[in-house]
């Protein structure tokens, strides 16, 4: 699972950005996995992610979802997907998952050294690591780098560059506050891996820069 891997932006913006995915392996241990996946979700939701989503119910935290409805509709192949903005919360989740030994695959995305530190603190050794090696091809067709800082927080490309540009312009012109703007950007990402805190911080930095430039 690598659709959380290709987030774009300055390194310092990823210090509190930890997308999380857990799911059974199809044709290996997915049969009867629903109760285990419900428990994974309970552990994560109890810890307080900044965002959470469901492809089953087509909801995320900014669109709003009912926790019990989400859990009741969990199926054998349902993934647990969201994002944390606090490394301690990620560590707590991993420790609890290790204790309960549910046997589900877990992927935590972030700066490699930070994720490895969190795993070590939880007493875990990562099974493997995927690395993003950059973007190849006709890169002239990509949005500008500032826009990609936001669009790449949705690994399925559901957040359009046009929307991001409109929202950034509204923020820098003082027509919208960063927190409200971040929520608008997060809505199309059903996976819930869009980090509202990171988006708000980046938007606020752009707003402050615009204010300082007069």
pLDDT digits (tens, 9 = 90+) for 15-39: 999 999 999 987 777 788 999 999 9
Calpha distance 21→142 (Å, rounded): 27
Q: Are 132 and 122 in contact (CB under 8 A)?
A: no
Q: What does the pLDDT average to over 165-180?
A: 97
3-state secondary structure the chain: CCCCCCCCCCHHHHCCCEEEEEECCCCCCCCCCHHHHHHHHHHHHHHCCCEEEECCCCEECCCCCCHHHHHHCCCCCCCEEEEECCHHHHHHHHHHHHHHCCCCEEEECCCHHHHHHHHHHCCCCCCCCCCCCCCCCCHHHCCCHHHHHHHCCCCCCCCCHHHHHHHHHHHHCCCCCHHHHHHHHHCCCCCCCCCHHHHHHHHHHHHHHHHHCC
Section 83-106 average pLDDT: 97
pLDDT at 134: 86
pLDDT for res 25: 83
* Residue found under tokens 């859990």: 71
In this prediction, residue 30 carries a pLDDT of: 79
Question: What's the mean pLDDT in 30-57?
Answer: 93
Taking alpha carbons only, the member of 131, 151, 114, 142 closest to residue 8 is: 151
Query: How far from the centroid of its chain's Cα atoms is residue 49's Cα?
Result: 9
> CATH fold of 11-121, please?
Alpha-Beta Plaits (3.30.70)
Residue range(s) of every CATH 3.30.70 domain in the chain: 11-121
Q: What is the pLDDT of residue 58?
A: 85
Q: Is the pLDDT assigned to residue 1 strictly greater than 60?
A: no
pLDDT at 81 over 90: yes
**Tell me, what's the pLDDT at 50?**
97
């Amino acid at each position: 699972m690598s659709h959380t891997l290709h987030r774009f932006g300055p390194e310092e913006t990823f210090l509190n950005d930890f997308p999380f995915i857990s799911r059974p392996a199809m044709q290996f241990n997915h049969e009867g996995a629903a109760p285990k996946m419900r428990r994974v979700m309970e552990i994560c939701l109890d810890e307080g992610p900044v965002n959470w989503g469901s492809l089953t119910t087509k909801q995320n935290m900014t669109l709003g979802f009912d926790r019990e409805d989400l859990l009741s509709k969990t199926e054998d192949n349902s993934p647990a997907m969201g994002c944390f903005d606090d490394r301690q919360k990620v560590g707590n989740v991993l420790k609890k998952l290790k204790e309960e030994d549910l046997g589900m695959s877990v992927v935590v995305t972030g700066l490699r050294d930070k994720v490895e530190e969190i795993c070590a603190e939880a007493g875990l050794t990562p099974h493997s690591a995927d690395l993003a090696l950059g973007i190849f091809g006709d890169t002239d067709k990509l949005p500008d780098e500032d826009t990609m800082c936001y669009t790449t927080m949705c690994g399925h490309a559901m957040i359009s560059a046009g929307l991001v540009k409109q929202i950034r312009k509204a923020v820098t012109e003082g027509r919208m506050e960063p927190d409200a703007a971040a929520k608008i950007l997060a809505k199309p990402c059903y996976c819930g891996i869009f980090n509202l805190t990171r988006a708000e911080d980046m938007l606020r930095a752009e707003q402050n820069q615009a204010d300082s430039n007069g």
